[in-house]
Copies of this chain bind each other. A is one copy, B any other.
Amino acid sequence: MVKKMPVFTIDFQPVGRRGQCPGNESFLDCARRVGIGISNVCGGGGTCGTCKVQVLVGTVSEPTPGELDALSPHELNEGWRLACQTYPTSDCTLHVPPESMTTPQRTQVEGLEIAVTPEPPLQSFNVQLSTPSLSDLQADADRLLQALNQQHRLKCKSFDIHVLQDISNLLRSHEWQCYATVRNNEVVALVPPSNRQLGLAVDLGTTKIAGYLIDLNSGKTLAARGIMNPQISYGEDVISRINNANNSQKNSMRLQQVLIKALNELIVDLSSEIGVSKTDIVEMVVVGNTAMHHLFLGLAVKQLAVTPFVPAVNSSLDVKAHEPGLNIAPGAYVYLPPNIAGFVGGDHVAMLLAAGVSEAEGPVITLDIGTNTEVSLVYKGEITSVSCASGPVFEGGHIKDGMRAASGAIERVRITGEKIQLETIDDTPATGICGSGILDAMAQLYLNGIINEAGKMNTDHPRSSTHNKQPCFVLVSKKERGGRPGIIVTQKDIRELQLGKAAIRTGIQSLLETNGCCEEDIKQVIIAGAFGSYIDISSAITIGMLPSLPLDRFKQVGNAAGMGARMALISRTKRNEARGIAKRVRYLELAGTPGFMDTFVAANYIGQYRITGGERQEID
């Protein structure tokens, strides 16, 4: 009797692609079959060490001699293995670090650019001090304060402790000249004579992190980079990460540590790119949703997952950057704009800031689409915000062949009769479907009658098939992929997407109803976020995720939160404006609004319906 080889599910993170792997196949083989590019210079011989992956969950084969050679005991202890030498013995979750990937992940640093007059919250000056002598015994720090007062009319009072630690040697090795940076009467940085005043703006997304290195005097972006949020290995969405943090103090600290480690690497990368020292960075702004904000600062997050979902703190914060462990100028501060509520964080405030809505008469709708989608309605000078649990579907999560927006992800689908046209990221062979692709697919399936208004899929099309006894639609067949498993849209995928798009539409409807507005009155819909900048607006209208408005009323602004972070970084006025926005926002707890469930059920249908008051009426 031949024992059947067991087959395990392998979850490759952070790319977010899952694949089946028989027990006699290495992780590298599995990745190749699924279409994920893991480096393997030696071709899988276990000698080059380029295919390093970390086993986060699951059990695997014992390390081979090659692995014992290539990996330190510490690495092995932390789950690091060579993908070409390791075989699963259970379902596994793997962390594939960027250096082991052959293609980079698409991360978002682009976004709308708004010219802001720089008014940085710090002032930097070159100062020449007098030399102490037996007849002039003033202490170094007091001497600097006096020079700042005499030469620049600055009335500083205090010093960051790290500046005091360095001041004596610095002044003596630079002929009593220095470049002092002052923030709110505190000397926060002291370096040899210079003219560099750099800041770092960070948009801390649940999935992606965007960093911008800025010249604080000109406001110019000198370098920008996007990286994956490494916390993704400990939970794809905010709630699973909160649950992870709540499991133990150790977990909670680890979530902060992996994040800070990644940020410090980002800081090194950005500063090397333009040939500066990381300690030239004297100010930072971090925007993120409330959970990211809390995890970044090491605040408790338990209460964020329990009704009434209250943050530890909403007010804007100025925290020493070294407190969470960031390696920039040791006396520098991180500014965090205010949060609005447990599920509407400083990133949404930054987005509203960048969208310039504080002046708008409205009605203007702003959306920041992600695992949580924050929606605001600006109307008559008031701002009302809701948070919608749109789920991981737009990041390719909970979708059979879903993946994040990386090379090979299907992002456009057109079905004409029996024919199908696909576009993939980087025009490489298809590996899976990302958020904008699945949204496009739903619209095309609906327009071609393959799914009905209730989302039910038929099997009438030549590309129709079944999966687990349920209907599915084949985007790329096994044959078209040269024998690799096909890429399909399942009935279950459609259901997941229905829930996600319904959540967003329910948010929009609730805001309109609460403020007594009609869809037709909406002057503008501003769509921000990585996913939001790639979606086909027509498809989103077709499936009923967005209201049916002329296309010129929609504006896709890319990473507006990142732009808002940059604005707050260089301008005190913009920080005040952000505070003002947060104060004006009325937060609406969606679950608490009347008729919420009716609206949500109605919004699950595909197509455009008037869903006012939970009553569904088809239009056009």
> Chain A: residues with CB nearer than 8 A to chain B?
132-142, 145, 158-159, 161, 164-169, 172, 297-300, 302-303, 307-315, 317-320, 323, 339, 341-342, 587, 589, 591-592
Pairs across A and B, CB under 8 Å, 18 listed: A137-B308, A137-B310, A138-B310, A139-B310, A139-B339, A140-B303, A140-B312, A140-B313, A142-B315, A161-B298, A164-B317, A165-B298, A165-B299, A167-B300, A167-B313, A168-B303, A169-B302, A172-B302
**Residue of chain B at shortest CB distance from A318:** B158
A209 to chain B, nearest CB (A): 21
In Å, the complex CA distance between A41 and B212 comes to 65
Check if B589 sits within 8 Å of A341, measured CB to CB: no
Check if B297 sits within 8 Å of A587, measured CB to CB: no
In Å, the complex CA distance between A592 and B134 comes to 7
| Other A-B pairs beyond A167-B312, A172-B302, 18, CB < 8 Å | A133-B308, A134-B308, A134-B591, A137-B587, A139-B339, A140-B312, A140-B313, A141-B313, A141-B314, A142-B314, A145-B315, A161-B297, A164-B297, A164-B312, A164-B313, A165-B297, A168-B302, A172-B303
In Å, the complex CA distance between A300 and B141 comes to 12
In Å, the complex CA distance between A262 and B43 comes to 57
**Residue of chain B at shortest CB distance from A313:** B141
State how many copies of this chain the complex holds. Answer: 2
Residues of B within 8 A of A139 (CB): 310-315, 339
Partner of A132, one of B137, B308, B592: B308
In Å, the complex CA distance between A164 and B161 comes to 22
A88 to chain B, nearest CB (A): 38
In Å, the complex CA distance between A291 and B326 comes to 30
In Å, the complex CA distance between A64 and B460 comes to 87
A575 to chain B, nearest CB (A): 15
The main secondary structure of chain A at its interface with chain B is mixed
Instruction: Please provide the 3 A-B residue pairs with the shortest distance between their CB atoms, ordered closest to farther.
Output: A141-B313, A139-B314, A168-B300
A107 to chain B, nearest CB (A): 29
**Residue of chain B at shortest CB distance from A171:** B303
Residues of B within 8 A of A169 (CB): 300, 302-303
A385 to chain B, nearest CB (A): 12
In Å, the complex CA distance between A202 and B272 comes to 45
Partner of A137, one of B159, B302, B589: B589
Residues of B within 8 A of A138 (CB): 310, 314
In Å, the complex CA distance between A404 and B303 comes to 57
**Residue of chain B at shortest CB distance from A290:** B139
**Residue of chain B at shortest CB distance from A140:** B312
**Residue of chain B at shortest CB distance from A300:** B168
Check if A315 sits within 8 Å of B587, measured CB to CB: no
Residues of B within 8 A of A298 (CB): 161, 165
Question: Provided the pairs A314-B141, A319-B161 are in contact, do residues A168 and B339 lie with their beta carbons within 8 angstroms?
Answer: no
Question: Provided the pairs A165-B297, A165-B300, A300-B169 are in contact, do residues A132 and B312 lie with their beta carbons within 8 angstroms?
Answer: no
Check if A141 sits within 8 Å of B315, measured CB to CB: yes
Residues of B within 8 A of A168 (CB): 299-300, 302-303, 310, 312
Check if A132 sits within 8 Å of B319, measured CB to CB: no
In Å, the complex CA distance between A319 and B302 comes to 31
Question: Provided the pairs A142-B314, A323-B161 are in contact, do residues A341 and B137 lie with their beta carbons within 8 angstroms?
Answer: yes
Check if B140 sits within 8 Å of A310, measured CB to CB: yes
Residues of B within 8 A of A310 (CB): 132, 137-140, 168
**Residue of chain B at shortest CB distance from A341:** B137
In Å, the complex CA distance between A506 and B218 comes to 60
Residues of B within 8 A of A137 (CB): 308-310, 341-342, 587, 589
A46 to chain B, nearest CB (A): 34
**Residue of chain B at shortest CB distance from A314:** B139
A614 to chain B, nearest CB (A): 20
Residues of B within 8 A of A314 (CB): 138-139, 141-142
**Residue of chain B at shortest CB distance from A256:** B165
Residues of B within 8 A of A308 (CB): 132-134, 136-137
